[in-house]
């Protein structure tokens, strides 16, 4: 980490700076996932965590294997899968709201139909 300060504005951005950003994003997502009651807030937290994982794929690809594109494609497919998952989850949430008029996890305790 000494390099981080000596090269603060001269060298290239160190890999652990990128990893630190995604680390903060991921654990903010973990905190929101555990501490919120609304299903939509839980979904926001999941988006944060997926996004942090995508950043890690790209950063490892760029820094460790710059000639290859594996991390790039994992991120591309990860974004597509996250979009799918969000669409289905929001459909389920809207359906739950229509049936139970609430999106709080504590109040959803019966299976409709």
Site for other proteins in 35-54 (CB under 8 A): 35-38, 40-41, 43-45, 47-48, 51, 54
Residue 109 CB, shortest distance to other proteins, in Å, is: 16
Residue with tokens 């409709």: 112
Residues 51-110 that bind other proteins (CB under 8 A): 51, 54-55, 58-59, 62-64, 66-70, 72-73, 75-77, 79-88, 90-95, 97, 103-104
Among 5, 6, 9, 108, binds other proteins (CB under 8 A): 9
**3-state class of 38 per DSSP?**
strand
Torsion of CA 78, 83, 89, 92, to 10 degrees: -140
Closest-CA residue to 18 (of 70, 69, 61): 61
């Amino acid at each position: 980490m000494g390099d981080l300060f000596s090269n603060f504005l001269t060298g290239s951005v160190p890999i652990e700076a990128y990893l630190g950003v995604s680390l903060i994003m991921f654990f903010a997502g973990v905190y929101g996932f555990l501490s919120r009651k609304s299903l939509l807030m839980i979904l926001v937290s999941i988006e944060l965590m997926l996004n942090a994982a995508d950043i890690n794929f790209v950063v490892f690809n760029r820094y460790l294997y710059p000639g290859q594109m594996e991390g790039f494609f994992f991120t591309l497919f990860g974004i597509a899968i996250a979009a799918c998952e969000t669409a289905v989850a929001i459909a389920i949430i809207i359906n739950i709201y229509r049936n139970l008029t609430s999106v709080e996890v504590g109040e959803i305790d019966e299976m409709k139909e």
